[in-house]
C-alpha cells in the first residue's frame, strides 16, 4: 500500500541495511502507533522508502511481506500502477463494463478473453505495420466484424470502398 508519510503514525522497531545506489532510502520494521489502527492490526509492518531520481519523486510503501528484498517490494508496487492502467484500458476499450458471471471462473474467463483480444490486436497491428492506435483498430474491427473484406484492406490507411452495387431502389446518403 502506498501511503502519504504524514498520515502514518508508527513507531520504528528496526532499520535494515539498504543499498542507496539502487534508489532505496530505507527499509524498516514498524508497528502502528495510533491506538485505533494498532488495535485493528497489532502485527509488525515493513516500511520501504524509494527515491526515483529520474522523476525526482520519493515513495513510501507499506507491506507485511518481510521475505522479499526491499528493492523487489519497491519495484512491484511501482509496477502495480501499470497494471491498474492496463485494466483501466481493458475496461474502456474492450468494453468490460460489468462481468457477465459472478463466479471466480467466469470473471477470470472474461478477463482472459479481453487480454487475449488485446494481444491478438497488438500482434495484427505489428505484423501488418498499421499506424493506427489499438483503440481505433478495435473500433474498426467492431464495425467490420461480419464483413468479408480482407483485414489488411479494412485496416489500411486507404479508405475502404465497397464494391459497386447495382441496387437502384436504395437512396444514396452521400450523393445529395
Would you list the domain boundaries of the chain? 5-80, 94-155
Q: Kindly report whether the global pTM for this prediction surpasses the value 0.85.
A: no
Q: Is the dihedral of CA 63, 34, 37, 39 positive or negative?
A: positive
User: Apex CA 171: angle with CA 170 and CA 176, to 5°?
Assistant: 155
Would you write out the chain's pLDDT as a tens digit for each of its 176 residues? 554 456 778 899 999 999 999 999 999 999 999 888 888 888 999 999 999 888 888 888 999 999 999 999 999 988 888 888 877 877 776 767 778 888 999 988 988 888 888 888 889 888 888 888 887 887 788 787 787 878 777 777 444 445 555 556 666 655 54
C-beta of residue 46 within 8 angstroms of C-beta of residue 63: yes
What does DSSP say about strands 10-16 and 57-63: parallel, antiparallel, or unpaired? unpaired
Q: How far is CA 27 from CA 19, 49, 86, 112, in A?
A: 10, 6, 29, 36
Q: Is the dihedral of CA 170, 171, 173, 176 positive or negative?
A: positive
Please tell me the total number of residues recorded for the chain in this structure: 176
Based on DSSP, count helices (H) and strands (E) in the chain, helices before strands: 5, 4
pLDDT at 167: 58
Distance, CA of 80 to CA of 86 (rounded, Å): 10
Amino acid at each position: 500500500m502506498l501511503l502519504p508519510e504524514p498520515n502514518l503514525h508508527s513507531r520504528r522497531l528496526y532499520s535494515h541495511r539498504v543499498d542507496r545506489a539502487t534508489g532505496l532510502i530505507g527499509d524498516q520494521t514498524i508497528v502502528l502507533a495510533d491506538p485505533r489502527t494498532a488495535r485493528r492490526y497489532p502485527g509488525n509492518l515493513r516500511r520501504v522508502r524509494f527515491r526515483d531520481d529520474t522523476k525526482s519523486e520519493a515513495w513510501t510503501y507499506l507491506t507485511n511481506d518481510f521475505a522479499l528484498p526491499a528493492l523487489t517490494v519497491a519495484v512491484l508496487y511501482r509496477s502495480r500502477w501499470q497494471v491498474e492502467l492496463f485494466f483501466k484500458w481493458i475496461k474502456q476499450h474492450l468494453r468490460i463494463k460489468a462481468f457477465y458471471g459472478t463466479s471466480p471462473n467466469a470473471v477470470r474467463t472474461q478477463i482472459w478473453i479481453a487480454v487475449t483480444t488485446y494481444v491478438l490486436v497488438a500482434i495484427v497491428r505489428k505484423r501488418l505495420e498499421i499506424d493506427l492506435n489499438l483503440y481505433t483498430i478495435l473500433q474498426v474491427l467492431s464495425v467490420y466484424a461480419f464483413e468479408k473484406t480482407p483485414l489488411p484492406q479494412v485496416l489500411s490507411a486507404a479508405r475502404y470502398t465497397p464494391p459497386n452495387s447495382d441496387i437502384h431502389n436504395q437512396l444514396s446518403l452521400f450523393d445529395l
